[in-house]
Chain A
Amino acid sequence: MSENNNDYAPLQIHVPEPPFRPGDAPDFSNFDVPVAGATPRPPIDASREDLEPYSEQVIRVLDDDGKAQGEWVPNLSDEEIDAGMRAMMRTRAFDERMMKAQRQGKTSFYMQCTGEEAIATAQQRALREGDMHFPTYRQQGLLFAQDWPVSKMMNQIFSNIEDELEGLQLPVLYSFRDAGFFTVSGNLATQYIQAVGWAMASAIAGDTKIASAWIGDGATAEGDFHAGLNFASVYKAPCILNVVDNRWAISTYHDIARSGMSTFAERAYGYGLAALRVDGNDWLAAYAASEWAAERARRGHGATLIEWVTYRAGAHSTSDDPTKYRPKEEATIWPLGDPIERLKQHLIVKGLWSEERHVQAEAQYADEMREEMEKAEANGTLHEYDRPRPSPKAMFEYVYADMPEHLRRQRQEMGV
């Protein structure tokens, strides 16, 4: 546009593109699959300098044969690992059921976490009662890992008369205070700095609780993420800062959020925080890293950012069609595999599981979710107007502690 009367070549804008688009044959042969057990487990008070390599190398415990390797192998009983498996499988069965329910018109919207079940279900195990998660819409695994009643989730998704939020909030934007599950916002990233604030409060109050912040790769571009990292570093806030890098933010590849030149964990390093990069499809590694970060926070050594390397195997939501922007096969050839398959393989190696038992468990959880859904449907679904529904009164009641006069008048005007 302007005359260049010098010898510089015209500049060009650089716009990152994913390596594969629909029609391309995806190929992850350049992907550096981490070697299980290769990474030492540093002490929980390790200095930032000692932790520098951890913002690049990926921690992995389960090897390709399902064996647990190295210093990060967590100290968990067989029952505890079995419970992890159950939590992942129930999460998936629930997602499958709710995806169908949405397609059948029982609600407006649903979001699955397929392929990412290990991360939340493992981390929940590493936290204690009283700790608080500040999740996104994709951390339903936190609830399954504590056997939270499925009915509470389904009633919320159907916005029916038993929905504890009385139909006010969108499906899956749950709020379960007693489960340590902060009210999920539809506005991305806002929860990140709030989690840090909650953790600061625990320290101000002289408590021993910690917070866990959650965010996706895409949303790390928001200012609230960076505010969270800075505050966490400045005040040594007792919290875990999770970044779930599932490579996609709706149709946008993760290189648009962070450029292909650095990892999300390196962001933390720049803020002076500890950071780990972890194979997010490895349930044992997910537990071990979460436990390390929780312990570091609870012992007063400050926050750890954990970058979870994973893949969003499903659509972004029921409103999304990923075949429009990425090759279908990408999910199936993702080199870190499927978290349920990998833990299954491990349990089989340990003699605690079998293919038959797996098929049985799948059927059992599918049945459980079908039965739960029938019960929830009996309380109504979103578009059924001829049955009792959440009252319109509710929308006036929860705006303020004491309803101001103008809202009272509006409620009367509405006639409820």
Chain B
Amino acid sequence: MFDDNATLKPMNMIEAIRDAHDVMMERDEKVVVFGEDVGYFGGVFRCTAGLQEKYGRSRVFDAPISENGIVGAAIGMAAYGLRPCVEVQFADYVYPAYDQITQEAARIRFRSKGQFTCPLTIRMPTGGGIFGGMTHSQSPEALFTHVTGLKTVIPATPYDAKGLLISAIEDEDPVIFLEPKRLYNGPFDGHHDRPVTPWSKHDAGKVPEGYYNIPLGKARTVREGNDLTILAYGTMVFVAEAAIEETGIDAEIIDLRSLLPLDLDAIQQSVEKTGRCVVLHEATRTSGFGAELMSLVQETCFYHLEAPVARVTGWDTPYPHAQEWEYFPGPKRVSEALTKVMEAA
């Protein structure tokens, strides 16, 4: 997807996201960026740092603390013909915008038969692992995948973050872009008591300079294996890696990257090969995206399955503060599920 001669640069996920903005703002003057604290300061996670200085206040600016205002205004701009890429400071704060996202952005094309469209990207940090308590840790992806008309994307590496964000900005329809905040500075496998590895020590932390894209709807095989298929996204990709290392199970890990559109072919091929499947997410269990994945696996791979499909998820409670690691579905819980699925008939 990119020029093979492009120079690789070490980037953490924040820098990769910033670079995607930079590349797109440079290429397309219709791209505008705004949100709470994103202008002068460059965002509380610094994902837009330097952009206002480079592209000016009329393309990069601070917004009032009004998520429905941010998204509603962005829809108006998209309808005009701009390509807004807006930030919601934490996914936990997207709810005031839910009406604008689900009833408006998602249906502008449908209800006007394409007279009006909504090429809009809504970025937001998601997931736990930073002691953010119940209002800085949520994983609301299923609230968006349940709404037709939206695309929902979640990268797990700097390389994917840049390529997917570029595709999101170029997309003709609204894209929810979830950024696993615990992965901003380095991969995290759930072992909170171990030193943090920075992205500079990871292959996926080497990011091509300039333009490249990763198409929405294509999963990435993180590791090939024969015993079992793990379907994961975001932080759970690294938890899965830790769990297979600890159990020695020869699992295939698929990082979905894009939940909608979903790479059903990749899922089907892998599960048909391994005959077993475990689904992972940080979000609460009931009606979570895992339920959709399990249904699809059951629908498409039933005659290949050798064991019931299992899932490891966050508990069905708000994300607690002190009990962060009891809540977070870490390697121990994932390992137990893998072992159980391997032991089943």
Residue of A160, A222, A324 touching B66 (CB-CB under 8 A): A222
Contact B57 A15 (CB under 8 A): yes
Residue A201 interfacial (CB < 8 Å)? no
Q: Pick from A74-82, A163-171, A342-350 the stretch touching chain B.
A: A163-171
Identify B92's interface contact among A187, A249, A390, A392, CB under 8 A. Answer: A187
A15-B62 in contact given A252-B36, A382-B322 (Cβ < 8 Å): yes
Contact with A along B305-322 (1 / 0, CB 8 A): 000000000011110111
Q: Which of B16-60 contact A (CB under 8 A)?
A: 29-30, 36-37, 39-41, 44, 57-58
Could you jot down 18 A-B contacts, CB within 8 Å?
A1-B29, A13-B57, A15-B39, A170-B135, A170-B136, A171-B321, A186-B135, A187-B135, A219-B65, A221-B64, A250-B37, A256-B63, A389-B322, A395-B317, A395-B323, A396-B315, A399-B318, A410-B285
- Contacting residue for B58 out of A12, A163, A414, CB 8 A: A12
- In the complex with contacts A222-B65, A256-B63, A325-B41, A167-B135 CB distance below 8 A: no
Asked if B131 and A108 make an inter-chain contact with CB atoms under 8 angstroms apart, the answer reads: yes
**Interface residue from B133, B286, B315, B318 paired with A414 (Cβ < 8 Å):** B315
A202 sits at the interface (CB 8 A): no
Please report which residues of chain A, range 398-416, place their CB below 8 angstroms from some CB of chain B when the two chains form the complex: 399, 406-407, 410, 414
Given contacts A108-B131, A187-B95, 11 further A-B contacts (CB under 8 A): A108-B132, A160-B322, A168-B134, A187-B93, A188-B93, A221-B65, A319-B44, A324-B41, A389-B322, A392-B323, A394-B323
Tally of contact residues, A, Cβ under 8 A: 53
Which B residues fall within an 8 A CB radius of A?
A: 29-30, 36-37, 39-41, 44, 57-58, 61-69, 81, 92-93, 95-96, 131-136, 193, 285-286, 315-318, 320-323, 326-327
The answer to whether A186 and B58 touch across the interface, beta carbons within 8 angstroms, is: no
A250 touches B93 (CB 8 A): no
- Contact call B58/A251, Cβ cutoff below 8 A: no
- List B contacts of A250 (CB < 8 A): 36-37, 41, 44
Q: Mark A229-253, 1 if CB is under 8 A from B, else 0.
A: 0000000000000000000011111
Contact mask for chain A residues 253-268; partner B; CB cutoff 8 A; 1 contact, 0 none = 1001100000000000
Q: Are B61 and A257 in contact (CB under 8 A)?
A: no
In the complex, are the beta carbons of B321 and A252 less than 8 A apart?
A: no
Bound-complex Cα distance A7 to B296 (A): 59
Quick one: which of B40, B92, B317, B321 contacts A251, CB cutoff 8 A?
Answer: B40
Decide: B320 and A395 in contact? CB cutoff 8 A.
Answer: yes
Chain B hits for A189, CB < 8 A: 65
Q: Are A167 and B321 in contact (CB under 8 A)?
A: yes
Nearest Cβ on chain A to B311's Cβ, whole angstroms = 12
In the complex, the answer to whether B62 meets A170 with C-beta atoms within 8 Å is: no
Taking CB atoms and an 8 Å cut-off, the chain A residues in 99-130 that contact chain B are 108-109
Query: Across the interface, do A222 and B41 meet the contact criterion of CB distance under 8 Å?
Result: no
Chain B residues contacting A406 (CB-CB under 8 Å) are: 286, 316
Nearest-Cβ distance from residue B297 to partner chain A, whole angstroms: 21
Query: Is A17 at the interface (CB under 8 A from chain B)?
Result: yes
Would you call A173 an interface residue if the criterion is a C-beta within 8 Å of the partner chain's C-beta atoms? yes
Instruction: Check if A280 is an interface residue, CB within 8 A of chain B.
Output: no
Q: Rank and list the top 6 A-B pairs by shortest CB-CB distance, nearest first.
A: A167-B322, A186-B135, A221-B64, A170-B133, A251-B41, A159-B322
User: Which A residues are in CB contact (< 8 Å) with B131?
Assistant: 108-109, 382
> What residue in chain A is nearest B46 (Cβ atoms)?
A324
> Which residues of A lie under 8 Å from residue B66 when comparing CB positions?
221-223
> Count the A-B residue pairs with Cβ separation under 8 angstroms: how many?
137
Report if A257-B318 is in contact (Cβ < 8 Å); known contacts: A1-B29, A325-B40: no
CB neighbours of B321 from chain A (8 A): 108, 159, 167-171, 382
Interface residues of A in 38-78 (CB under 8 A from B): none
Tell me if A173 and B133 are in contact (CB < 8 A).
yes
- Residues on A with C-beta less than 8 A from B327 are 392, 395
Q: How far is the CB of B315 from chain A (nearest CB, A)?
A: 5
CB closest residue in chain A, given B34? A15
How far apart are the CA atoms of A407 and B36 in the complex, in Å? 36
- Contacts A325-B41, A407-B316 given; does A188 touch B65 at CB 8 Å: yes
Q: Would you call A249 and B65 a contact (CB within 8 A)? A: yes
Choice from A21, A222, A256 contacting B62 with Cβ under 8 Å: A256
| Most A Cβ at <10 Å: residue of B41, B65, B322 | B322
Is A151 interfacial (CB 8 A cutoff)?
Answer: no
- State the Cβ distance, B248 to closest chain A Cβ, in Å: 24
Closest CB in chain A relative to B26 CB, distance in Å: 16
B230 CB to nearest A CB, Å: 19
| A163/B322 in contact, CB under 8 A | yes
Q: Whole-angstrom distance from the CB of B43 to the nearest CB of chain A?
A: 9
B239 CB to closest chain A CB (Å) equals 17
Inter-subunit contact A186/B92 (CB<8 Å): yes
The residue on B at minimum CB distance from A159 is B322
A168-B65 in contact (CB<8A): no
Q: Does A218 contact B (CB under 8 A)?
A: yes
When chains A and B are docked, how far (Å) is the Cα of A34 from the Cα of B65?
A: 29
B37 touches A252 (CB 8 A): yes
For the complex, what is the distance from the CA of A46 to the CA of B316, rounded to whole Å?
A: 52
Interface flag for A185 (CB, 8 Å): yes
Chain A: CB-nearest residue to B40 = A325
CA distance A186 to B29 in the complex (A): 36
CB nearest to A160 among chain B residues = B322
- Measured in the bound complex, the distance between the Cα atoms of B40 and A249 in whole Å is 13
CA–CA, A153 and B286, complex, Å: 34
Contact of B320 (CB < 8 Å), options: A168, A185, A319: A168
- How far, in whole Å, are A395 and B322 apart by their CA atoms in the complex? 10
Q: Which residues does chain B contribute within 8 Å of A399, judged by CB atoms?
A: 316-318
What is the CA–CA distance of A171 and B321 in the complex, to the nearest angstrom? 8
Contacts of B62 in A (CB 8 A): 15, 251-253, 256
